[in-house]
Amino acid sequence: MSWKLFMLLVKASGLTLVISGVSILIGLALGFVICAGLLSGTRGLNRAAELFVSFFRGVPLLVQLLLIYHLMPALGINVSSTTAAIVGLSLCTAAYQAENLRAGFGAVPRGLLEAADMCGFSHFQTFRRIRAPIALRLTLPAIINEAVLLLKASSLVSVVGIVELTRMAQDLASSTYRPIPIFASAGLLYFIICAIVAGIGALYERRQKWARR
Amino acid sequence: MSFDLSIIWQNLPDILAGFWTTCWLWAVSTAGGIVLGFLVAVARRYGGRLIASVLGVYVAIMRGTPFLVQIFLLYYGGPFIGISLTETPTGLIGLVIYGAAYFSEVFRAGFEAVPVGHIEAAECVGLTRWQTVRRILLPEMALLVLPPSVNIAVILIKETAVLSTITVPELTMVTSVIGSQYYAFVEALTLLALFYWFLVEVTGRAGRWAEAKLSRYRFAN
Amino acid sequence: MRSIRILGGMVGAALAMATAFSAHADDVLAKVKAAGVLSVGTETAFAPFDFIDAGEHVGLNVDLFAEIGKELGVKIEWVTLPWDGVLPGLESGKFDMVAGPATITKARMERYRFTSPIAEATVALLARKDAGLTKPEDIAGKAVGSGKATAQLAQLQDYAKTLPTAPTVREYVSFNDGYADMAAGRIVAVANSLPNIAYVASQRSDMFEVIKPPFGKPSYFGFIGRPDADSTSLMDAIDAALLKMKADGRMATLQKKWFGDTFNTPDKVTDPSF
């Protein structure tokens, strides 16, 4: 495999990193909102959040992307390939992140909440100083897991016309008929990108390490 | 374009066969992945430095590369290094070792969330290492481990679709063939959405049910 | 569980709506000329028609559409999707037409409007050199492959029935996976159209060879458009451009460039052999 082909894969992996990086951040922010809905006492909000999670976790990302790409223009909103890809990935990952966060909030020791209550913390103070930080720390590995999963799932955005790393590898394999070295290189590049994302997460995790007793 | 149910009806036996293939591949690989993943997590925690770092590399590679690339290299590249399996065993083995890496990470996080004091206390009262894992670590982390495990089971449902690239006749393969044969793209997509959604929904509900059952183990410290 | 059924219905309705809405567009040729852009959907994993060579999108399609663009006085905008998404994209109006190309078959002619054929599509076998095949019949009793849900696969299946011992026919998501499995040694041959496998054999002459003669019924490749009245003027204009290129020798030159050979193609396929 020539250097030139490898550099084409490197370039395509840049696109993979950008598209999934943006989607990870949007998805995480949206995940918080959905999680708030899941934990909300208001029945309507609760139902809406549950439906969101159910739909975006349940329906294959491939189908979601095709829906966004083919349906939106019919409703008068012209989505570019890039927009369709980012919207599709963000919505899908938000559903998973919301579930992760919900689990974290559920696992916050009750004693701590009772203690905060007794110390006279307001509802908001308890949330900001006790529940949110502890839940985040508890779920950080799962959140990073999901971020890396999204990075890899981003290969599906080729169905809306984006030539990211996997698609580039398929294209190159189909003109050189030497798929094994090309897919092995693509695997290596994915590994590097995932290491970058996981590394950022691990750095944060270390900084936030829960003081364990 | 209309929605033609008769196409689905005509091909129902094939579709159900594909759905069944997806279901059993998923169930077997999830069960295998949980067992192997748990063993990996325990081995990484107690197996000494060498085992921990070897397994760490395995987990990093499985998590850091797409399943599509792994299965492609295993199936199409395997024969060049003497591993020549047919498609279904390749798919099953691939799914198990892929899923196990993710499950092991979930268990690792679970172990870490159990307060050190509880483990020290277990040691003090003379529990063996295995007893500590079984009686302290597992129940205490179960609640924390369950939702991400359900997430991974859900991810594995969808990864089974990748097996179409190595000619396993699972749901995605079957429906997309029908979709292109009859130009029934809408029907095929809807079918895919519904079948996978059904599986995911069942899994999610089972997970929430188990979560409710387990919540009595919630520890206060 | 009821919510599942309702939303499932919505997915179907939404997609059906998408296609219904997009079908009401005005005359496509007028729209293309006004915008100065012809939008063409294709897959870039179909050498030598459409592929990525050293990072550039090249192939017979790219050259032919460059000429078509000149004839029509418009620029060509490529939308590249995996093949599974190309025909649905045409139907939902994501682009004006499809390059591909696709084998002109009876079933497809009922659904799409084909252009004048641009190459022969007759199906032949690409075999491993060490498999010892010398004629198509030699695949009897062996494992062979083709692309899933393709015209080429249908031809292979028909041919397999005529052999004394039926070969095992395997279906791949793409022809390229079939070539990979042949390299891995699980199958001895892949059935695909002559221009495609001739190109593969030229690229991997160490490993693969074309088994002559082709076993399939004579067939042709054409570009694809929507069959509705709005698209008629565009497809007529494309046909006129292609016929002009066939007459003045540009088509033959380009075929020579990409296939190393020229094909005699009829002006129009009215009655495909299958």
Q: Is the ipTM of this complex over 0.95?
A: no
CA-nearest of B40, B35, B89, B88 to B62 is B40
Domains of chain A: 3-207 (1.10.3720.10)
Asked whether residue B142 is domain-assigned, the answer is yes
Contact of A71 with C15, CB cutoff 8 Å:
yes
Q: Would an 8 Å CB–CB cutoff place B80 in contact with chain C?
A: yes
DSSP string spanning B54-67?
A: HHHHHHHHHHHS-H
Beta-carbon contacts of B86 under 8 Å, excluding residues fewer than 6 positions away, are: none
Token pair, residue A7, equals 């550099």
Q: Which residues of C touch B76 (CB under 8 A)?
A: 177, 180-181, 183-184
Token pair, residue C88, equals 């649905």
DSSP string spanning A5-33?
A: HHHHHHHHHHHHHHHHHHHHHHHHHHHHH
Determine the average pLDDT of the residues in B67-80: 94
Q: Would an 8 Å CB–CB cutoff place C4 in contact with chain B?
A: yes
Contact of B170 with B21, CB cutoff 8 Å:
yes
pLDDT band at C19 (very low <50, low <70, confident <90, very high): low
Q: Would an 8 Å CB–CB cutoff place B180 in contact with chain A?
A: no
Chains touching chain B through at least 3 C-beta pairs below 8 angstroms are A, C
Q: Between residues A171 and C6, which one has the greater pLDDT?
A: A171
Asked whether residue B121 is domain-assigned, the answer is yes
Q: Would an 8 Å CB–CB cutoff place B139 in contact with chain A?
A: no
Domain C22-120+219-259 coded CATH 3.40.50.10470: no
The number of distinct structural domains making up chain B is: 1
Do the two domains C22-120+219-259 and C123-211 of this chain adopt the same fold? yes
CA C192 to chain centre: 11
What CATH number is given to the structural domain containing B104?
A: 1.10.3720.10
- Please report which helix (H) or strand (E) contains residue C168, including its range: strand C168-172
Using CB atoms within 10 A of its CB, is residue B140 exposed (0-12), middle (13-18) or buried (19+)?
A: buried
pLDDT of residue A211: 46
* Nearest residue, CB atoms, B185 vs list C4, C88, C180: C88
**Whole-model pTM over 0.90:** no
Q: Which residues of chain A have pLDDT under 50?
A: 211-213
pLDDT of residue C2: 42
CA-nearest of C9, C155, C121, C245 to B194 is C9
pLDDT band at C1 (very low <50, low <70, confident <90, very high): very low
Q: Which residues of B touch A70 (CB under 8 A)?
A: none
Determine the average pLDDT of the residues in B191-215: 90
Asked whether residue B220 is domain-assigned, the answer is no
User: Using CA atoms, how far apart are residues A114 and A118, in angstroms rounded to an integer?
Assistant: 6
Domains of chain C, residue spans: 22-120+219-259, 123-211
Q: Which CATH number fits domain C123-211: 3.40.50.720, 3.40.190.10, 3.30.559.10, 3.30.365.10?
A: 3.40.190.10
Q: Would an 8 Å CB–CB cutoff place B80 in contact with chain A?
A: yes
Token pair, residue B94, equals 């691939």
Q: Are strands C97-103 and C37-42 parallel, antiparallel or unpaired?
A: parallel
Q: What is the pLDDT of residues C127-171, one digit of tens each?
A: 999 999 999 999 999 999 999 989 999 999 999 999 999 999 999
Q: Are residues A158 and C81, on separate chains, in Cβ contact within 8 Å?
A: yes
Q: Are residues B1 and C16, on separate chains, in Cβ contact within 8 Å?
A: yes
| CA distances from residue C39 to A145, C56, C93, C225 in whole angstroms, order as listed | 39, 18, 10, 12
Q: Which residues of B touch C20 (CB under 8 A)?
A: 1
Q: Is residue B217 over pLDDT 80?
A: no
CA-CA-CA-CA torsion for C79, C82, C87, C92, nearest 10 degrees? -60
- The answer to which of A59-73, B62-76, B82-96, C241-255 has the lowest mean pLDDT is A59-73
| For helices C250-259 and C60-72, angle between their N-to-C axes, nearest 10 degrees | 160
User: Using CA atoms, how far apart are residues B8 and B192, in angstroms rounded to an integer?
Assistant: 11
User: Using CA atoms, how far apart are residues C93 and C234, in angstroms rounded to an integer?
Assistant: 14
Q: Would an 8 Å CB–CB cutoff place C175 in contact with chain B?
A: no
Q: Are residues B197 and A190, on separate chains, in Cβ contact within 8 Å?
A: no
Asked whether residue B1 is domain-assigned, the answer is no
CA-nearest of A57, A38, A12 to A158 is A12
Token pair, residue B196, equals 């996978």
Per the structure, the complete domain to which residue B98 belongs is given by 16-215
| Chain C interface disruption, residue of B190, B191, B202, most C CBs within 10 A | B190
Q: Between residues A77 and C115, which one has the greater pLDDT?
A: C115
Q: Would an 8 Å CB–CB cutoff place A163 in contact with chain C?
A: yes
User: Using CA atoms, how far apart are residues B106 and C60, in angstroms rounded to an integer?
Assistant: 51
